[in-house]
Structure 1
Amino acid sequence: MKLTVTSLLLALLHSRSAFSAAVTAPAKVTKQVTLDIVNVEAAPDGFQRSIISANGKYPGTLITANKGDTLVVTVNNKLTDATMRRSTSMDFDGIFFTTQNAFMEGTPFVTACPIAPNASFVYTLPLGEQAGTFWYHSQLSVQYVDGLRGPLIIYDPEDPHRNLYDVDNEDTIWQVGDWWHNSTIPLLDGYVATGIVPVSDSGTFNGAGRFNGGPEVPFFVQNVQAGKRYRFRIINQSARNVFTMSVDNHDLTVIAADGVETVAHTVNEIQMFAGQRYDVVLHANQPVGNYWINAPFVGGDPTRNLNQNGTLSRAILRYAGARAVDPAGPMTDGPANPNLLLESDLRPLVPEVVPPADMNITLELVVTTGKAQWNVNGVSYLPPTTPTLVKILDGQTDQAAFNQTENTFLLPANQTVQIIFPPSEDDEAHHKKIDQDVHRRATAFHLHGNNFWLIKSNFSDVINEVNPIRRDVAPVGSAGTIVRFRTDNPGPWFFHCHIFWHMQAGLATVMVQDVDGIAAGDRPNQAWETLCPAYDALPAELQ
């Protein structure tokens, strides 16, 4: 073959580029992480109580990895406090598991049984092509209300948004969450007896909060340098509350939602439902000083808990060179002229063709008056004694194998399923500015195993089948929501409300993708096989 000078130069450039990529691309590694699940005394908002924590911290230990790595997470259950659940089970929110490792997914009585006290389990998470902002929490009952929640960040060395920010590290993670002074067993007993969801005492920002009449716990301080652009990864780790995020005098440019990149979209206020994550870029372009980071929240009637004051939920953005004092401005709920993020305005960074729906499923959500009970299509979910995955691996692949209360949908492989949450009679959620009353009526649904295209947001009339975003948590309420996903990941995947009080009261389903493909897979490891016998042998007070 005859080579010209041009072709030789091109070949040389190509080889240099390939060599450079090979040298600079980080090697994919297996990273070992240990989470000791322990009871410790803590006072995130100044009120001391026993909590459940990962490695004695609230929020728990930060887990980081790079795209393509494998995480091996050893969870050691060392819980002893009888006022809270003593078994546990870990969910890695937004991480995709597959048929080969669905048993590692950690959803109690769907993919596994809980981990008994004084026992351990090793979760293996091949991260594949995923990157972004995720988190982990207990998936057992409402246990993460007691504190078992923490961040999981997967960095992309070739992040397509890399030119938009200068700083992205473990110091630029914002975790907001609701906090209760009472532990979950009495709180849950009260909910069951009255049907009234407990109202939180406070909200926390990176583990610090305040309540009415409580001590002035120091606000979390976010240090920045003038002129630099910061990627902040915001995680709403609540079990109920909706947080509204803003920073005085600063814009926020959204670049990702629930671990999926979006076209950069600038706003000055973001409302986040339980379980949602947003990555934003803030340009530190204001005069050197201190600025409020506002994180007011709503969640239930605040007159039911006089400790609650959503205005106290905040942090401080402090420029280098500014005095170590609180901002001079008042504590507000946010900008006077809000440019509120509407998730329907977000667009995917990487365009993709959204396939038409092969099948439609309508899910009607109804709460029973006077009881702590939610129904999906007239069924209140109850966890089965034998986990869904165990049944399928044992050859029970017909609909008759699943009790009605398991609310299990058997979905054929490689289809596009559209889930329709119809609107309720109340139509307030059509308003552009979402008020507190609407927040109280809206809930948030989360899909395990996949994310979904958000065809219609609860806060918009627009139906977008062309370029909707993908995410894994979306609000569901009075205006109706439509999502769509592919059944290309065989497994029994939980699809539930991320207000865990609602989930515990039955607001959940199981979406089984390709039941025959699951049944044909290999049996899980021996450690997983022993979880159910060990849990079933426990007395009720240790479960």
Structure 2
Amino acid sequence: MIIKLILMVAIVQYTIADFNCDTICSKRNQTRTYIFEAKYIKGAPDGYMKSIFTINGEFPGPTIYACVNDTIIVTITNHGLEPTAMHWHGILQQGTLYSDGVPGSTQCASNIGESFTYYFHTTKPGTYWYHSHFGIQYIDGLKGAIVVCDPDDPYKVSYNRSQDDVLQCTDWYHSNATYLYNLYLSNALHGAEPIPESCLINNFGQPPDCHAKKTCGYYRTEIKAGISKRIRVINTSAFAVLMCTIDGHRMRLIEADGTYLNGKTYVNVLTFNAGQRYSFIIDGKTNPKQNYWIRCNMDTPYLNGPSAQPTVRGILVYDTKFGLPPDAQFNDSEHVIQGALARANRFIDQNLVPMKGRCNCPKKSTRKIFLELAFVFSNNGALLPIMNHHAFKAVANTTILSLIQTNISSFPASANVFTIEKGEVIDLYINSEIGQHPMHLHGHVFCVMGIGKVGSGFSDASNVDLNTDNPICRDTASILFEGWMVLRFVADNPGVWMFHCHIDWHLGAGLALQFIESPNAIRKIYGTAQKPVECKMDRK
């Protein structure tokens, strides 16, 4: 459970209530209804006061808890300063394309004062999240977690079901996102992405001087001695790769982006990119004498310069009487982080093994699509990303879905459209010229068939070996600097689906495309129209 927004810094003690999936799934096939009010309030989660875009005055927004095969209905009223739309990251939206939440693709954005109702089904258990998909809006706070519980969780005997918890870890900016985005586009930053000032766990961060002053606030999660605990982590950052550690505890990975793993991978440091989610189990010490630090650390080599506060601390609490973990322990464990930083190829996407029968990736593809991620100089000299020689731009004043419904099949080049047909097995051969990119696909999971190391060069489908032996399937995977990646997915969900970098600065600048999957099936499922919908956008 997330504590409401912290307005002051001098907060020392909190006990955080966990949740119990057995209780959530005590009744099955439920319809769960939420009323969200999107509005700005002032807050200082890391000690710096700024305007934060919240849901019901909470940051992060309320966690949506559901059981597998429930129906979720969320009505969002926009009390912000510009239009908005909400995407439900990782939810497949099978038969509910209207609720994918992408302005210009599946819906008109909700203007100020307007409401929009999203309706979808929780068909797959796991850890997900929601966030604004309007511009770079979620950088200022419009996001939250989704937990889809599984009454048949294959690991439920391996941990205390009453102590499940979610850590939403994010980079954090002190300036307004729109201001920073305009700097990024103007070349005032010389082509570099804005650098976050700090990092948060849920709504807790620490100013650089609070440790000495003993005024820090920390997110706390409880564990019982001798009992194992499940923790779900979500990287909700705009930019930063994050590294998670729990001092004195190894993490047994059991879920990645809603896919159960075989449970044989243990890590001391979990490196995960924007949009990715993991679940892990830690074993409670039988005779603990202290509490332990939890850390999320920004992977600084991927930033463009130093951050004021790249590390946020939380606390794994065995007993409140133990107080704060010792700083000596924090410093002694620093080599774990530094050792991970020294390894250039530290993402584990390709090394994960799913539980048997959870992915069932096709052995062969029927179609190959080649994608090049590059950077070019804009007219004003800014170095901005493109995909296949185009910077994506959403269609103006309507949606791609409504154009398809009126039988239009010609789209602007800037819409970056690829048409695929139901039943095709698609291989995406992706090459990255500069930088690392967490690539996210809407409406599907993909199989990670191969990822090249940093500097491995480009792939033309003839010079790579693919993993066809039970590869991991997920919805967000990381391509490395000057490297390649091959993702395979089955076109089994007719609709209009974004594929994009989840670094929000890159998405805002156009590092995205749209798959139009089975236009005839789209019209059959979602109907036809005489003319496209007309979208209007209002701003204060």
Name the TM-score class by shorter chain: 0.7 to 0.9
The corresponding residue for 1:101 is 96
1:367-406 matches, cutoff 5 A: 367-369=375-377, 370-385=381-396, 386-396=398-408, 398=409, 401-406=410-415
The corresponding residue for 1:238 is 237
Check conservation: 1:62, 1:151, Cα contact below 8 A. yes
Post-superposition shift, 1:249?
A: 1.4
C-alpha change, 1:341 and 1:191, in structure 2 (3 Å) is closer
Which amino acid counterpart does residue 384 of structure 2 have in structure 1? Q
Check conservation: 1:193, 1:372, Cα contact below 8 A. no
Which amino acid counterpart does residue 473 of structure 1 have in structure 2? T
The corresponding residue for 2:515 is 511
Post-superposition shift, 1:213?
A: 4.9
Post-superposition shift, 1:299?
A: 5.7
Deviation digits for residues 164-208 of structure 1 (CA, Å, limit 9, x no counterpart): 211355x61111001111112211110111133111110001111
Separation of aligned partners in 2, 1:489 and 1:387: 18
The corresponding residue for 2:194 is 198
Q: Are 2:349 and 1:343 aligned?
A: yes
Post-superposition shift, 1:232?
A: 0.4
Separation of aligned partners in 2, 1:259 and 1:38: 30
The corresponding residue for 1:172 is 165
Which amino acid counterpart does residue 368 of structure 1 have in structure 2? V
Q: Are 2:425 and 1:419 aligned?
A: no
Separation of aligned partners in 2, 1:347 and 1:452: 14
Check conservation: 2:41, 2:54, Cα contact below 8 A. yes
Q: Helix, strand or coil for the counterpart of 1:520? A: helix
C-alpha change, 1:25 and 1:317, in structure 2 (3 Å) is closer
The corresponding residue for 2:257 is 258
Separation of aligned partners in 2, 1:420 and 1:192: 28
Which amino acid counterpart does residue 360 of structure 1 have in structure 2? K
Question: Alignment partner for residue 467 of structure 1, among 459, 466, 470?
Answer: 470
Deviation digits for residues 283-311 of structure 1 (CA, Å, limit 9, x no counterpart): 112633121112110367767566x221x
Question: Alignment partner for residue 360 of structure 1, among 368, 373, 381?
Answer: 368
Provide structure 1 residue ranges, at least 5 long, that are not aligned to the other structure.
Answer: 1-23, 81-85, 427-440
Which amino acid counterpart does residue 479 of structure 1 have in structure 2? G
Q: Are 2:525 and 1:521 aligned?
A: yes
The corresponding residue for 1:83 is none
Post-superposition shift, 1:123?
A: 0.4
Separation of aligned partners in 2, 1:164 and 1:134: 22
Provide the identity percentage. Answer: 28
Separation of aligned partners in 2, 1:353 and 1:104: 27
Check conservation: 1:354, 1:467, Cα contact below 8 A. no
Check conservation: 1:46, 1:217, Cα contact below 8 A. no
The corresponding residue for 2:175 is 182
The corresponding residue for 2:47 is 46
Separation of aligned partners in 2, 1:522 and 1:330: 55
The corresponding residue for 2:68 is 67
Provide structure 2 residue ranges, at least 5 long, that are not aligned to the other structure.
Answer: 1-24, 455-463
Separation of aligned partners in 2, 1:372 and 1:381: 15
Check conservation: 1:452, 1:485, Cα contact below 8 A. yes
Post-superposition shift, 1:475?
A: 0.5
Separation of aligned partners in 2, 1:423 and 1:79: 36
Post-superposition shift, 1:465?
A: 1.2
Separation of aligned partners in 1, 2:179 and 2:330: 37
Which amino acid counterpart does residue 479 of structure 2 have in structure 1? V
Separation of aligned partners in 2, 1:303 and 1:239: 14
The corresponding residue for 2:15 is none
Separation of aligned partners in 2, 1:512 and 1:443: 23
Check conservation: 1:103, 1:524, Cα contact below 8 A. no
1:150-169 matches, cutoff 5 A: 150-167=144-161, 169=163
Separation of aligned partners in 1, 2:487 and 2:395: 27
Which amino acid counterpart does residue 391 of structure 1 have in structure 2? L
Check conservation: 1:108, 1:140, Cα contact below 8 A. yes
The corresponding residue for 1:143 is 137
Separation of aligned partners in 2, 1:300 and 1:56: 35
Which amino acid counterpart does residue 281 of structure 1 have in structure 2? I
Check conservation: 1:402, 1:408, Cα contact below 8 A. yes
Separation of aligned partners in 1, 2:274 and 2:233: 12
C-alpha change, 1:186 and 1:524, in structure 2 (3 Å) is farther
Which amino acid counterpart does residue 74 of structure 1 have in structure 2? T
1:408-487 matches, cutoff 5 A: 408-422=417-431, 424=433, 441-459=435-453, 463-477=466-480, 478-487=482-491
Post-superposition shift, 1:372?
A: 4.9
Separation of aligned partners in 1, 2:46 and 2:221: 18
C-alpha change, 1:212 and 1:524, in structure 2 (3 Å) is farther
Deviation digits for residues 235-294 of structure 1 (CA, Å, limit 9, x no counterpart): 000011110011111100000100111110212111010000000001112633121112
My pick for the range that moved more, 314-323 or 477-486, is 314-323
Aligned residues: 484
The corresponding residue for 1:298 is 299
C-alpha change, 1:53 and 1:321, in structure 2 (3 Å) is closer
Separation of aligned partners in 2, 1:233 and 1:321: 22
Separation of aligned partners in 1, 2:453 and 2:242: 16
C-alpha change, 1:255 and 1:64, in structure 2 (3 Å) is same
Q: Helix, strand or coil for the counterpart of 1:504? A: helix
Separation of aligned partners in 2, 1:127 and 1:330: 39
Post-superposition shift, 1:217?
A: 3.1
Deviation digits for residues 19-73 of structure 1 (CA, Å, limit 9, x no counterpart): xxxxx97321101111110111110100011110111111111110000100001
Q: Helix, strand or coil for the counterpart of 1:279? A: strand
Q: Are 2:147 and 1:122 aligned?
A: no
Report the structure number with the largest CA radius of gyration. 1
Check conservation: 1:167, 1:228, Cα contact below 8 A. no
Separation of aligned partners in 1, 2:208 and 2:498: 37
The corresponding residue for 2:312 is 313
C-alpha change, 1:314 and 1:453, in structure 2 (3 Å) is same
The corresponding residue for 2:217 is 218
Separation of aligned partners in 2, 1:116 and 1:372: 31
Post-superposition shift, 1:462?
A: 6.2
Separation of aligned partners in 1, 2:96 and 2:443: 11
Separation of aligned partners in 1, 2:30 and 2:406: 34
The corresponding residue for 2:20 is none
Separation of aligned partners in 1, 2:300 and 2:70: 37
Check conservation: 1:354, 1:466, Cα contact below 8 A. no
C-alpha change, 1:298 and 1:341, in structure 2 (3 Å) is closer
Separation of aligned partners in 1, 2:192 and 2:301: 9
Separation of aligned partners in 1, 2:509 and 2:205: 28
Q: Helix, strand or coil for the counterpart of 1:368? A: strand
Separation of aligned partners in 2, 1:414 and 1:378: 28
Q: Helix, strand or coil for the counterpart of 1:502? A: helix
Deviation digits for residues 435-491 of structure 1 (CA, Å, limit 9, x no counterpart): xxxxxx211100000010010134598631120011000001233111000001000
Q: Helix, strand or coil for the counterpart of 2:322? A: coil
